[in-house]
């Protein structure tokens, strides 16, 4: 429940109440958006677009779900569209390039043994790369499950994909992440 | 209990396995499964290390400042673009005119067969008018984006985006109709148009120069503006022909 019935007041056209909601939820939406898109600029776009869409659709919000879940739904779906669009453009740009990147081949060689900070930064980069290798659907479902703690049923409902397809997206995401990250993690032990 | 599959381990990790207690006791007894689960834990725990840029306590206020102008106001250009309303109004006027003619003829006692033919012709004519309007509005959206000036900041394309979203459903319907009547050329143009409309509809309200370039590139790569313009002219031409002549030439869109 939002403080002071801000949602209800915003629904009745009180823009000051909507401002409170924006101030209250922006950081959480940004975190979600960044994890979904992996890109700060895109995440900012998602935040802005999420609140603009939320404002236009306020009349459709029903208090069955919490306001933050509803916002996450809007942000997830917009992020999903954005990632798909980006991937299409990237595929186009990269088509024709003969060399395939294999991000995991070089790390053990380049890892400076004693420098844990550099190493940890490299691991983080690898994690980002591995997340970028996921399809839009896999990444969205995985982020909602892993970082936001939403249940598989909730994710299926949020993305309109149903429970089984969501489960498969998460499994595929985990399998890909394991394939990408296990060599890195095992060198860290 | 057999060894635990990877899917079950993933569900267990997230606390969603149906037989959580059984898996837990199996993990206590089975070293192979325990190792497998630890490997999974290591990877998923590593994923948590991916950093998220920090946003300070003022971030919410900054977001509000960015969207404040657009909250509480309808998009300012929506009601000013003549092309948003003119074609729809034209379709309504023509539709009303044709419907009036039909009812006038029926009142004057035309045979049921004649009335049925006229009805069919009128429906086709109204469809033509609607498709013509649709192409005209699509062309306007594509032209607006193709000719939009590039600036230092971001460009507000919320009107074009809204228009594209509005046009998508109709486009889908016309494309399906064209496919089912075997009109491959028209279906192909509408298919290209649908992809670009979808890209526009799913773009942010404000786009950077790079994002605008990407949209333009999509339009340009497909030669879409030209194709839509040509198809629109063909439809308008067909629309202006007398009904009898049009029937001789076929009923495709």
Calculate the average pLDDT of chain A: 81
CB < 8 Å to B50, chain A: 35, 124, 127-128, 131
- Residue A151, chain B, CB below 8 Å: the answer is yes
Rounded-to-integer distance, Cα B3 and Cα B7, Å: 12
Pair A52, A112 in one domain: no
Q: A30 and B59 in contact by Cβ < 8 A?
A: yes
End-to-end CA distance of chain B, in Å?
64
B211: closest chain A residue by CA: A86
Which residues form the domain of B30?
A: 6-47
Pair B235, B135 in one domain: yes
Between A104 and B158, residue with greater pLDDT: B158
Q: B70 and A52 in contact by Cβ < 8 A?
A: yes
Q: Where are the beta strands (DSSP E) in chain B?
A: 155-156, 206-207
pTM above 0.90, yes or no: no
Chain A closest CA to B170's CA: distance in Å?
21
Between B236 and B12, residue with greater pLDDT: B12
DSSP, collapsed to helix, strand or coil, labels residue B176 as helix
- Residue A132, chain B, CB below 8 Å: the answer is no
What band does B119 get if pLDDT is binned at 50, 70 and 90? low
Predicted confidence (pLDDT) at residue B41 exceeds the cutoff of 90:
yes
**φ and ψ at B155, to 5 degrees?**
-110, 130
Rounded-to-integer distance, Cα B179 and Cα B194, Å: 14
DSSP, collapsed to helix, strand or coil, labels residue B155 as strand
The last residue of a domain, from among A98, A130, A152: A98
Domain total in chain B: 2
Pair A12, A38 in one domain: yes
Pair A173, A108 in one domain: yes
Q: A24 and B60 in contact by Cβ < 8 A?
A: yes
Q: What is the CATH number of the domain that holds A74?
A: 1.10.1740.10
Lowest mean pLDDT among B41-50, B77-86, B151-160: B77-86
Query: pLDDT for B196-252, tens place per residue?
Result: 998 888 888 888 888 888 888 888 888 888 888 888 878 777 766 655 444 444 444
Tokens of B14: 């997230």
- Highest mean pLDDT range out of A7-11, A31-35, B143-147? A31-35
Over residues A81-85, the mean pLDDT reads: 77
Pair A93, A110 in one domain: no
- Which among A109, A127, A136 is positioned nearest to A178, based on CA atoms? A127
Chain A closest CA to B42's CA: distance in Å?
7
Q: B88-93 — which CB contacts under 8 Å span 24+ positions?
A: B88/B133, B90/B129, B90/B133, B91/B126, B91/B129, B91/B130, B91/B133
- What pLDDT does A116 receive? 54
Pair A121, A175 in one domain: yes
Q: A174 and B59 in contact by Cβ < 8 A?
A: no
Q: A177 and B44 in contact by Cβ < 8 A?
A: yes
Q: What percent of chain A has pLDDT over 90?
A: 38
Mutate to test the interface with A, among B15, B64, B197 (most CBs of A within 10 A): B64
Query: pLDDT for A134-176, tens place per residue?
Result: 998 999 999 999 999 999 999 998 888 899 999 999 999 999 9
Domain total in chain A: 2
**φ and ψ at B241, to 5 degrees?**
-75, 150
Pair B27, B131 in one domain: no
DSSP chain A: --GGGHHHHHHTT-HHHHHHHHHHHHHHHHHHHHHHH--HHHHHHHHHHHHHHHHHTGGG--TTS-HHHHHHHHHHHHHHHHHHHHHHHHHHHHTT--PPP-TTSSHHHH--TT-HHHHHHHHHHHHHHHHHTS-HHHHHHHHHHHTT---HHHHHHHHTS-HHHHHHHHHHHHHHHHHHHHHHHHHH-
C-beta of residue A189 within 8 angstroms of C-beta of residue A110: no
Query: pLDDT for A173-182, tens place per residue?
Result: 999 999 999 8
* Cβ within 8 Å of B, A 10-39: 13, 15, 18-19, 22-27, 30-31, 34-35
Asked whether residue B20 is assigned to any structural domain, the reply reads yes
Q: B60 and A25 in contact by Cβ < 8 A?
A: yes
CB < 8 Å to B43, chain A: 174, 177-178, 181-182, 185
- What pLDDT does A22 receive? 95
Rounded-to-integer distance, Cα B169 and Cα A21, Å: 32
Asked whether residue B53 is assigned to any structural domain, the reply reads no
CB < 8 Å to B199, chain A: 85
Rounded-to-integer distance, Cα A28 and Cα A34, Å: 10
Lowest mean pLDDT among A76-80, B114-118, B158-162, B181-185: B114-118
Place of tokens 């308008």: B236
Pair B146, B243 in one domain: yes
């Amino acid at each position: 429940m939002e403080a002071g019935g801000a949602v209800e007041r915003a629904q009745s056209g009180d823009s000051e109440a909507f401002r409170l909601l924006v101030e209250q939820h922006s950081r959480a939406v940004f975190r979600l958006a960044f994890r979904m898109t992996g890109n700060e600029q895109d995440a900012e776009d998602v935040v802005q677009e999420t609140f603009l869409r939320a404002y236009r659709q306020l009349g459709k919000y029903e208090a069955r779900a919490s306001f933050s879940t509803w916002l996450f739904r809007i942000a997830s779906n917009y992020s999903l569209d954005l990632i798909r669009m980006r991937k299409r453009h990237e595929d186009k740009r990269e088509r024709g390039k003969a060399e395939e990147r294999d991000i995991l081949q070089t790390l053990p060689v380049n890892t400076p043994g004693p420098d844990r900070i550099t190493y940890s930064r490299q691991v983080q980069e690898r994690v980002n790369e591995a997340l970028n290798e996921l399809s839009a659907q896999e990444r969205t479902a995985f982020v909602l499950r892993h970082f936001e703690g939403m249940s598989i049923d909730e994710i299926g409902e949020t993305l309109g994909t149903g429970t089984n397809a969501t489960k498969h997206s998460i499994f595929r995401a985990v399998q890909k992440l394991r394939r990408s990250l296990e060599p890195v993690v095992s060198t860290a032990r | 209990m057999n060894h635990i599959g990877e899917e079950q381990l993933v569900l267990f990790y997230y606390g969603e396995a149906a037989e959580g207690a059984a898996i837990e006791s199996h993990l206590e007894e089975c070293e192979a499964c325990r190792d497998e689960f630890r490997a999974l834990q290591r990877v998923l725990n590593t994923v948590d290390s991916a950093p998220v840029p920090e946003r300070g306590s003022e971030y919410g206020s900054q977001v509000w400042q960015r969207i404040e102008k657009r909250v509480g106001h309808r998009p300012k250009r929506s009601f000013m673009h003549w092309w948003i309303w003119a074609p729809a109004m034209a379709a309504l006027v023509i539709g009303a005119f044709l419907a009036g003619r039909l009812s006038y003829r029926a009142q004057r006692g035309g045979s049921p067969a004649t009335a049925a033919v006229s009805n069919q012709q009128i429906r086709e004519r109204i469809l033509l008018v609607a498709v013509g309007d649709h192409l005209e509005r699509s062309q306007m959206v594509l032209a607006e984006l193709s000719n939009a000036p590039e600036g230092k900041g971001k460009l507000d394309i919320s009107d074009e985006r809204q228009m594209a979203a509005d046009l998508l459903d109709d486009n889908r319907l016309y494309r399906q109709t064209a496919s089912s009547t075997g009109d491959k050329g028209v279906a192909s143009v509408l298919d290209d148009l649908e992809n670009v409309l979808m890209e526009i509809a799913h773009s942010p309200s404000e786009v950077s120069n790079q994002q605008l370039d990407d949209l333009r590139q999509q339009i340009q790569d497909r030669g879409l503006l030209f194709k839509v313009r040509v198809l629109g002219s063909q439809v308008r031409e067909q629309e202006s022909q007398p009904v009898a002549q049009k029937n001789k030439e076929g009923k495709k869109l």
